[in-house]
Structure 1
């Protein structure tokens, strides 16, 4: 069993800069900080983010994470002592079509942000990473020691960013970095303060909720010939609120022990197939989801399930690690987002 990482007290958390805090995961992390009374500054270009997701109690600054002059001003003006970096492009399919965009934003802007953080004396940096760095894996639960072998530009852009940050820690011993590698994030804030609100949704659960709320006619299953029990892709779904809590723990770990690099899997260690997710949504909604079959999407592995030591390393205690709870929160958020006037619960 791995040794527990040291953590600073929650009450000692400094002001935190959250890049991409107008996005799904970033806004939930900002809420977790604000709920603890931490001064929180959100930096977001709103290219893919939604201004309405930024918590009212956060200080909002429009702009890009790669804008060094702006980031330096924000750090110095607000006394920022730690950074949660969520700003990124996240679509596997889009990365295959536009690889240069992904390398420029996910790698290039991360490098720029980290350099600015170092120059300003920020001691803790948490990069929103991904299980896509593992590629296809071998169908078994993936450990942080599993080979880094992405199969798409999205995964490579995050792997390159991780490597650069690891080297920066080695060269700057007052700097600590954590790279939580997410599996599939799901659900919404249980208080319905934030959830998915993508301009161009591509997450399975969000798309299925769009069908249940009448925004789409049918759900397309991309590939039924994977080497899995029902032929559809299997993923480890983790609730966004549990994920946000893990980020607070990672910040505390980075601040407690300078000069450390931590790669951590964030998943529950259990997988659900596309069919099982759709069945869970049907169970919580009481409504059938029309389905059709489509071809596999480029860059999609068959199975991605975590072997996660976050519980042991950080004392992470997930509260929402149940599939029907996750999809139930996601559907409740989508219905709330649309408002009562739509009345699209078919």
Structure 2
């Protein structure tokens, strides 16, 4: 039996594919490579180039592989982009999740783990860890698209022999401690990657959007979770479903937040380098503070974070950025070309 990882060539999905293989699982990856990379997929995983919304592709995967569970990472994640292109987000995040869930149910796949987001909550009081029963009031189409997907999965689980775990991510950061994969997308909007690029001279500086939020230093506060801990929660969710656990929605975060300025200072300390920081107005759709209460994931899934330290998160992110810099030009580009050519 195999596990299907959608978006498995992307940042979190590639970490998930490696973690599943480390755990002895048989892995199938589906990715259209719009933001992911073919070289990021572990060689031991079976790879399909295609879109989650392609019914024929899904049918082919289910015919050619004994899929027992789906870990669904494919989707669009840039909040400001969702505000300017909302229909694209509803198509890629919501409509395609519906298609995937329908195909899974038709194929008899009973276990489904969904990448959701803390953006479903909207804005919350400063320093208040949010619980899963908090009102869901998304401030942007990205959060709305994920919340709509959660509702669809809930209704599908009530009507079919189908169970899911939706993990509401807080701010995912860092890279594989073994150096096998990391956040590699050019133009990524993740704060930590931007800061690491600035520290290594890959960009002129960092722009901070909003310094007048009701937080301790005026900048947005987020709960940063190491990507390895996040994929660990997925492994626990898969085990939970296999043990006949009921459908569940759970937060994934550490329960404390760091401001934008605190993250930037942590990168400066770890890299021993200064970089330019400029202040700009708030972006539309950004919340002031979002911090997780992850009691459900810890108690029901048995999730135990192992990288709950901002310094460690920054260290692994910097190490991966160094790897990308070292492979720049002929190194990384030729490697990408070789792996892409070998895939087709």
| TM-score band w.r.t. shorter chain | over 0.9
Match of 1:126 in 2: 113
Provide the alpha-carbon RMSD of the alignment: 1.1
Which of residues 141, 144, 162 in structure 1 aligns to 2:132? 144
> 3-state SS of the aligned residue for 1:128?
strand
Which of residues 16, 26, 30 in structure 1 aligns to 2:13? 26
Report 1 or 2 for greater relative contact order, CA contacts < 8 Å, sequence distance ≥ 6: 1
CA contact (8 A) 1:278 1:289 kept: no
CA contact (8 A) 2:170 2:225 kept: yes
Equivalent residue pairs, number? 327
Superposed counterparts of 1:209-220, under 5 Å: 209-220=196-207
Q: Distance in 2 between matches of 1:122 and 1:72?
A: 12
CA contact (8 A) 1:123 1:255 kept: no
CA contact (8 A) 2:204 2:275 kept: no
C-alpha displacement at 1:249, in angstroms? 0.7
C-alpha displacement at 1:341, in angstroms? 6.9
Once the two structures are superposed, residues 140-169 of structure 1 have per-residue CA deviations (whole angstroms, 9 ceiling, x without a partner) of 111001111100000000000000000000
Give the structure-2-normalised TM-score. 0.93
Q: Distance in 1 between matches of 2:311 and 2:37?
A: 26
Specify every segment of 5 or more residues in structure 1 that has no aligned partner in the other structure, as ranges.
1-13
Once the two structures are superposed, residues 38-89 of structure 1 have per-residue CA deviations (whole angstroms, 9 ceiling, x without a partner) of 1100000001111121111111110011112211221221101000000000
Q: Which runs of 4+ in 1 moved over 2 A?
A: none
Superposed counterparts of 1:143-292, under 5 Å: 143-172=131-160, 174-257=161-244, 260-292=246-278
Once the two structures are superposed, residues 262-317 of structure 1 have per-residue CA deviations (whole angstroms, 9 ceiling, x without a partner) of 10000000100001101111111111121111111110000010011111122111
C-alpha displacement at 1:240, in angstroms? 0.2
More displaced stretch, 192-201 vs 88-97: 192-201
Match of 1:35 in 2: 22
C-alpha displacement at 1:255, in angstroms? 2.0
Q: Distance in 2 between matches of 1:276 and 1:341?
A: 29
Give the structure-1-normalised TM-score. 0.93
> 3-state SS of the aligned residue for 1:198?
coil
